[in-house]
């Protein structure tokens, strides 16, 4: 019986405690960010920078430029010929290009590129513009 009474008493006290906690939470969330928040953010950034191995950093801007150039050259030589990339180069209408890329992005979620190519081609033949898709039943 004593346990039951104790649980009833603690249950009755909860609303007041919750009200006080809610009031404190509101007042703290309404407060402007303090300098402590700025220090915490700075500390997080320092930790992130410290966690990156110097091996992965470029010490010279010329190294970054050379790496970027080599990477882009490699891409130009090795990239796959994909229908949405061709349309993006050939299509003058930026809305149609954006629609084509959007369709490919949606289809490529959780699906292999080889599987998407055929579906993408058929989709774009059936609904070449967003308006065509919108008017489909």
Give the residue numbers marked as catalytic: 105
SS (H, E, C) 44-86: HHHHHHHHCCHHHCCCCHHHHHHHHHHHHHHHHHHCCCCHHHH
Residues with Cβ < 8 Å from 133, sequence gap 6 or more? 127
Tell me the two tokens of residue 23: 């009031």
CB 97 within 8 A of CB 105: no
Per DSSP, the three-state class of 98 is helix
Q: Are 130 and 121 in contact (CB under 8 A)?
A: no
């Amino acid at each position: 019986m004593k346990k039951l009474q104790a649980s009833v008493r603690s249950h009755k006290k909860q609303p007041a405690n919750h009200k006080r906690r809610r009031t404190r939470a509101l007042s703290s969330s309404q407060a402007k960010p303090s300098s402590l928040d700025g220090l915490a953010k700075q500390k997080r950034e320092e930790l992130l920078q410290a966690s990156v191995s110097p091996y992965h950093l470029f010490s010279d801007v010329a190294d970054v430029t050379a790496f970027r150039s080599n990477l882009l050259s490699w891409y130009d030589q090795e990239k796959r010929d994909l229908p949405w990339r061709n349309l993006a180069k050939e299509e003058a209408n930026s809305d149609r290009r954006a629609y084509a890329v959007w369709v490919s992005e949606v289809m490529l979620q959780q699906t292999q590129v080889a599987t998407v190519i055929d579906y993408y081609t058929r989709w774009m033949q059936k609904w070449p513009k967003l308006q065509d898709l919108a008017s489909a039943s």
